Amino acid sequence: MINHKNNMDNLSIESLFDETKKIKDPELREKTIEFIKNPIPTHCEIENSNVSLEESPASVKRHHKYPKGLLEHTMAVTKLSYNIATALEDVYGLELDKDLIVSGALLHDIMKPQNYVLKEEIKEYKVRNTENNENKESNENKNNNYNNNCESEKPGYTIETKVIRRFDHISDFHLEHLTLAVSELYKRDFPLKLIKVVSSHHGDYGSSRPDSIEAWIIHLADNMDANLNDIAIRIGNSRARDLNIEDNKLYEKITPLKIYELRSHIGKENLIEYLKDLMELNPKNGNEDLNKNKDNNEKDKN
């Protein structure tokens, strides 16, 4: 029996504030809290996207691409960075700046919501109606169905219209998220060493390369969480196609990494059945109820 709980239900901005308690320097802690509370560009020409930090994804097509994905990613990177630093201190006798690590991890992607917009699009789906089709159709009717030219016109199929809400990139945003973050850190008078850690968190692929162990820790933790989620997203998207549902609908109930974990433990087919039950798509229980009713009717007749 699988006992699954969606941890994202417990994530909120308060979760980030809890992490700031690890910052010992009161001034840096207060600056970090204030930025998390008000992550809005202060430049008069940059319009607020109105996408909140709490509901924002961490990307549009790749890792953590679902609502609350950025919050999930930020929490993972912060905890990973802190624990990596603790392990290195224990093993190598280092004295790392954990205040820098926690603040840098919490703020490394804080301006991403300013690069996104929430869009709605209407999509049509062909849905097969399996409710007692086999019992209702005679062999003659089934044969006649084969003569239809359009499959969507066959009895047993309906067209459903759904409104899909997805995040996309703002087409005319002025600056990408890292440039915005660094600009805001300067404007809000953060320490230069913190600005350097945030500006270099893309590692060798960014405009600024990490120049400290603390900076490398945040970069590696960021990469680790993003890459693992990328792998899991591909698996989750495949299972969503198996279920004929939108992938983001699936991620409202279960995270991609949990899907990946379950596939490793119980296998693909068992995972699909579990996800059907989770998404209330499995007609098994309904069929059992129908069979029970039929049995009861037969007993009454006898």
For residue 266, the model assigns a pLDDT of 95
CB count within 10 Å of CB 34 equals: 11
For residue 9, the model assigns a pLDDT of 73
Rounding to the nearest 10 degrees, give the CA dihedral for residues 256, 261, 267, 271.
-40
For residue 301, the model assigns a pLDDT of 43
The answer to whether 110 touches 36, Cβ cutoff 8 Å, is: yes
For residue 133, the model assigns a pLDDT of 47
In order of 35, 98, 290, 295, the CA distances from 29 in angstroms are 10, 12, 60, 67
For residue 137, the model assigns a pLDDT of 47
pTM over 0.85: no
Per-residue pLDDT of the chain (302 residues; tens, 9 = 90+): 576 777 667 899 999 999 999 999 999 999 999 999 999 999 988 888 889 999 999 998 889 999 999 999 999 999 999 999 999 999 999 999 999 999 999 999 999 999 998 776 666 666 666 554 444 444 445 445 444 455 444 556 677 666 566 777 777 666 889 999 999 999 999 999 999 999 999 998 887 999 999 999 999 999 999 999 999 999 999 999 999 998 989 999 999 999 999 999 999 999 999 999 999 987 654 444 434 444 544 444 43
- Which residue is associated with the tokens 């059992």? 288
For residue 119, the model assigns a pLDDT of 73
DSSP 130-193: -TTHHHH--HHHHHHHTT-S-GGGSTTEEEEEEEEEEEEE-TT-SS-HHHHHHHHHHHTT--HH
Angstrom distance (rounded) from CA 250 to CA 235: 12
Angstrom distance (rounded) from CA 21 to CA 3: 31
For residue 158, the model assigns a pLDDT of 76
Q: Tokens for 258?
A: 């949990």
